[in-house]
């Protein structure tokens, strides 16, 4: 947080710029997609190993 010459300007705003919200949404979306892919791959591997050793 930088100091400003305008009084009351030093407080942190709860209204983030749209670019930050878009970046956060994309990051969360990418995380969900990758986590889903890893979960699916793990489930598929578990099924293949179960078939192999049963």
Mean pLDDT by 10 residues, the chain (54 residues): 59 74 96 98 97 92
30, 21 Cβ separation under 8 angstroms: no
Q: Residue 6's pLDDT is what?
A: 63
CA distance 40 to 34: 10
CA distance 45 to 52: 10
Q: Residue 15's pLDDT is what?
A: 72
Q: Residue 29's pLDDT is what?
A: 98
């Amino acid at each position: 947080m930088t100091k400003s010459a305008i009084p009351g300007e030093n407080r942190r705003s709860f209204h983030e710029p749209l670019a930050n919200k878009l970046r956060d949404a994309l990051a969360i979306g990418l995380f969900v997609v990758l986590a889903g892919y890893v979960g699916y791959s793990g489930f598929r591997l578990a099924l293949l190993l179960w078939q192999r050793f049963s």
